[in-house]
C-alpha cells in the first residue's frame, strides 16, 4: 500500500482534531470510524501499543477511504516501519526521535512529534514536523500555547492530553491549529452502551466549540 501524498489536508482542516484510539479492537474501531465520517471528523490515530494495530490500520484504511488513518505512539524506526507497512497515512510520536522525523519528511509522510519545552518544540519544527504535538497539554494549559507562540509564531502547535469540550476553544483562541483528543472524545459510557448516535452528537458538540477557528 502506498502512503505518499495520501493524507488529505483538505479533509483534516474541516475538523482539525486528531482522534486518538488506544486499546480497542477492530469492531469498536470500525464503529468509531463510522461516527468520525458522520460527524465530519476525518483524522484518526491508532496507537502502536494497541493489540493488533497493524491489522486495524490496514482494515480501517481499506474500509474508510475518506479518513486519514495514522499511527500514534511511534517511538523508533521499527515502529515507523510497521506503521507505514500497514498503511498509516500520518505519524504521531510522544517524543522527539530525529530518525523517525527525518524518515517521514523524506517520504512525505505528515509527522506530528511530541514536545514539551520551547526548545523541544523548536527542534521538532526545525526537523520538518508538519505540526508539533504539545504533550501533555493538560499540565500546561492554553496560556502556555500563547506564550510559546509569541516568539515562535510560525510553528503549528497541536496540543494533546487533557483537551476536552470544556477547554478546547481556549486552546484555539491561544493559537493552536489543531488538537489531539482521546478519552474525552471517545466517551466510554456511550461506547459501552453502543450509543453511537449519542456519540455522534458528542463529536458534533466538540466541533461546534471551534467553528469560529476552522
CATH number at residue 56: 3.20.20.70
H/E stretch holding 163 reads none
Q: Residue 139 has what DSSP assignment? A: G
**Are 44 and 71 spatial neighbours (Cβ–Cβ below 8 Å)?**
no
Catalytic residue among 4, 34, 40, 45: 45
Note whether residue 214 is domain-resident.
no
Q: What is the pLDDT of residue 4?
A: 46
- Residue 145 forms part of a structural domain: yes
Q: Are 87 and 1 in contact (CB under 8 A)?
A: yes
Q: 133, 193, 201, 209: which is the annotated catalytic residue?
A: 133
| Cell numbers placing 205 | 458538540
pTM: 0.96
Report residue 149: phi and psi, to 5°: -75, -15
Instruction: Decide if 105 is inside a domain.
Output: yes
Q: Does residue 1 fall inside a structural domain?
A: no
Phi-psi region of 95 (alpha: psi -120 to 50; beta: other; left: phi over 0): beta
**Distance, CA of 175 to CA of 155 (rounded, Å):** 10
Report pLDDT for 138: 87
**So what's the pLDDT on residue 119?**
98
Please indicate, yes or no, if residue 4 is contained in any of the structural domains: no
Residue 62 lies in a domain: yes
Look up 45 and say whether it is catalytic. Answer: yes
- Please check whether residue 211 lies inside any domain of the structure: no
Asked if 133 is an active-site residue, the reply is: yes
Distance of alpha carbon 185 from alpha carbon 197, whole angstroms: 14
- What confidence tens digit (pLDDT) does each residue in 137-156 have? 988 999 999 999 999 999 99
DSSP code string of 55-102: HHHHHHHHH-TTSEEEEE---SHHHHHHHHHHT-SSEE-SS--HHHHH
Helices vs. strands in the chain: H and E counts, helices first = 10, 9
With respect to residue 52, please indicate whether it lies within any of the assigned structural domains.
yes
Over the stretch 65-106, which tens digit does the pLDDT of each residue have? 999 999 999 999 999 999 999 999 999 999 999 999 999 999
State the pLDDT at residue 2.
45
Query: Could you say which residues of the chain have pLDDT below 50?
Result: 1-5
Residue 157 structural domain: 9-206
- Number of structural domains (the chain) is 1
Instruction: State the number of CA atoms in the 13 A half-sphere of 31 facing the CB.
Output: 16
Amino acid at each position: 500500500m502506498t502512503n505518499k501524498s495520501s493524507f488529505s489536508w483538505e479533509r483534516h482542516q474541516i475538523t482539525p482534531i486528531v482522534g486518538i484510539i488506544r486499546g480497542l479492537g477492530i469492531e469498536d474501531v470500525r464503529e468509531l470510524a463510522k461516527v468520525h465520517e458522520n460527524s465530519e471528523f476525518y483524522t484518526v490515530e491508532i496507537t502502536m501499543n494497541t493489540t493488533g494495530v497493524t491489522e486495524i490500520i490496514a482494515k480501517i484504511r481499506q474500509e474508510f477511504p475518506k479518513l486519514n488513518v495514522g499511527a500514534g505512539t511511534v517511538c523508533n524506526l521499527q515502529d515507523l516501519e510497521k506503521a507505514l507497512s500497514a498503511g498509516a497515512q500520518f505519524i504521531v510520536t510522544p517524543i522527539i526521535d530525529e530518525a523517525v522525523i527525518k524518515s517521514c519528511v523524506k517520504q512525505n509522510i505528515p509527522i506530528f512529534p511530541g514536545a514539551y519545552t520551547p526548545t523541544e518544540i523548536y527542534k521538532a519544527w526545525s526537523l520538518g514536523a508538519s505540526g508539533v504535538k504539545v504533550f501533555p497539554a493538560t499540565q500546561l494549559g492554553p496560556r502556555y500555547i500563547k506564550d510559546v507562540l509569541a516568539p515562535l509564531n510560525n510553528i503549528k502547535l497541536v496540543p494533546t492530553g487533557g483537551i476536552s469540550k470544556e477547554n478546547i476553544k481556549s486552546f484555539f483562541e491561544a493559537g493552536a491549529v489543531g488538537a489531539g483528543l482521546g478519552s474525552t472524545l471517545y466517551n466510554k459510557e456511550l461506547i459501552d452502551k453502543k450509543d453511537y448516535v449519542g456519540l455522534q452528537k458528542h463529536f458534533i458538540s466538540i466541533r461546534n466549540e471551534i467553528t469560529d477557528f476552522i
